[in-house]
């Protein structure tokens, strides 16, 4: 089976600063894969490299076997990749409805109706808040909106950049529950970048650990969770 996403020995840099070195990872269709790592490990850079900016210095990125290395972001998105960016980045002055419609711009078939329905089933709160301005939503609702907005383009691959950032544990559980539900009911493939290693690894089928721009470990979600070095480095010495 061809992996839906294949990152093959990718290196990337911002000017002289090396951000990623020989990173390889693959995401099979229908999988939830998580990428964990500390601040500045290069997690977000990897997601952005997949989306085409920055262009990798070396290595290839393939989507369902097709080479998308260095392709313009909006073209990659049209191939069925969607992204919920770090820090949510919803449009604060626009209504929830307008925010969701902005997500449908990369949708190749015209009607956003079925996608909208899917978002409402997943996050019923969004339907209640439809006429409300994005900036007046709570943090958790904004994250739901960011994910919902990404789903509007009917993606094959959903890239989530730290959806738990700045949210209360209860809300994080809710969001992660929704991701699992989405994956189980529609078979959507998810690449999840997280600092919250504990919950991310519990959710994911497989995981990768990124340290200083290099992949240092990979394995099943629960398998990684059980490793002592992970427990020490990312889970606060077993308190997680």
Partner 1 sequence: MSAAALAPPRPAGRVQLALKDALIATAVAAILFVPMVALRTDVGTAGALALRYRWTDAAILCGLVFLGRLLLVLWTGRRGLQPTTSAGPWTRRLQQAGRFAAPAFLIVALLLPVIPGVDRYELDLGILVLTYVMLGWGLNIVVGLAGLLDLGYVAFYAVGAYSYALLAQYFGLSFWVCLPLAGILAAFWGILLGFPVLRLRGDYLAIVTLAFGEIIRVVLLNWVSLTGGPNGISGIPRPSFFGLSFSMSGGEGTFAGFFGLEPSSVHRVIFLYYLILALALLTNWVTIRLRRQPLGRAWEALREDEIACRALGINVTTTKLSAFALGAMFGGFAGAFFATRQAFISPESFTFIESAIILAIVVLGGLGSQIGVAIAALVLIGGTELFRDLQEWRMLVFGGAMVLIMVLRPRGLVGTRTPSIALGKRRAIDGNLVGEGHG
Q: Which of 206, 209, 197 is closest to 235 using CA atoms?
A: 197
DSSP designation for 129 = T
Residue 16 or 131: the one with the smaller Cβ distance to partner 1 is 131
Q: Name the residue nearer to partner 1 (CB basis): 155 or 207.
A: 155
Residue closer to partner 1, measured from CB, 92 or 166:
92
- The tokens 């969607």 sit on which residue? 82
Q: Distance from first CA to last CA of the chain, Å, rounded?
A: 35
Smallest gap from residue 150 Cβ to partner 1 (A): 8
In the complex with partner 1, the residue whose CB is nearer, 77 or 230, is 77
Give SS3 for 33.
strand
Structure tokens at 79: 């191939």
**CA geometry: angle at 191 spanning 41 and 151, to 5°?**
130
Name the minimum Å distance from CB 15 to partner 1.
16
In the bound state with partner 1, the residue whose beta carbon lies nearer, of 82 and 201, is: 82
**83 φ/ψ angles, rounded to the nearest 5 degrees:** -135, 135
Residues that bind partner 1 (CB under 8 A): 51, 53, 72-74, 76-78, 82-85, 89-95, 97-98, 101-103, 105-106, 130-131, 133, 135-136, 149-150, 153
Q: How far is the CB of 31 from partner 1 (least distance, A)?
A: 22
Write down the least CB distance from residue 114 to partner 1, Å. 16
Determine the 3-state secondary structure of 113 from DSSP: helix
Burial 142-179 (b: 16+ CB within 10 A, else e): bbbbbbbbbbbbbbbbbbbbbbbeebeeebbebbbebb
CB of residue 230 to partner 1, shortest distance in Å: 29
Least distance between partner 1 and beta carbon 78 (Å): 6
């Amino acid at each position: 089976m061809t992996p839906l996403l294949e990152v093959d020995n990718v290196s990337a840099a911002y000017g002289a600063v090396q951000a990623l070195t020989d990173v390889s990872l693959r995401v099979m269709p229908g999988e939830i894969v998580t990428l964990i790592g500390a601040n500045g490990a290069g997690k977000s850079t990897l997601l952005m490299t997949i989306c085409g900016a920055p262009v990798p210095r070396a290595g290839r990125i393939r989507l369902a076997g097709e080479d998308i290395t260095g392709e313009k972001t909006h073209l990659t998105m049209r191939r069925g990749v969607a992204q919920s960016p770090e820090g949510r980045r919803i449009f604060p002055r626009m209504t929830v409805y307008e925010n969701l419609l902005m997500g449908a711009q990369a949708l190749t078939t015209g009607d956003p109706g079925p996608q909208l329905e899917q978002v409402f089933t997943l996050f019923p709160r969004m339907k209640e808040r439809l006429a409300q301005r994005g900036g007046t939503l709570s943090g958790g609702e904004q994250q739901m909106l960011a994910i919902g907005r990404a789903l509007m383009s009917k993606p094959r691959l959903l890239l989530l950049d730290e959806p738990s950032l700045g949210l209360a544990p209860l809300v994080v559980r809710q969001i992660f529950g929704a991701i699992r539900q989405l994956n189980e009911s529609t078979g959507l493939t998810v690449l999840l970048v997280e600092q919250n290693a504990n919950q991310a690894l519990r959710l994911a089928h497989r995981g990768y650990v990124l340290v200083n721009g290099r992949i240092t470990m990979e394995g099943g979600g629960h398998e990684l969770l059980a490793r002592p070095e992970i427990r020490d480095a990312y889970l606060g010495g077993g308190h997680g």
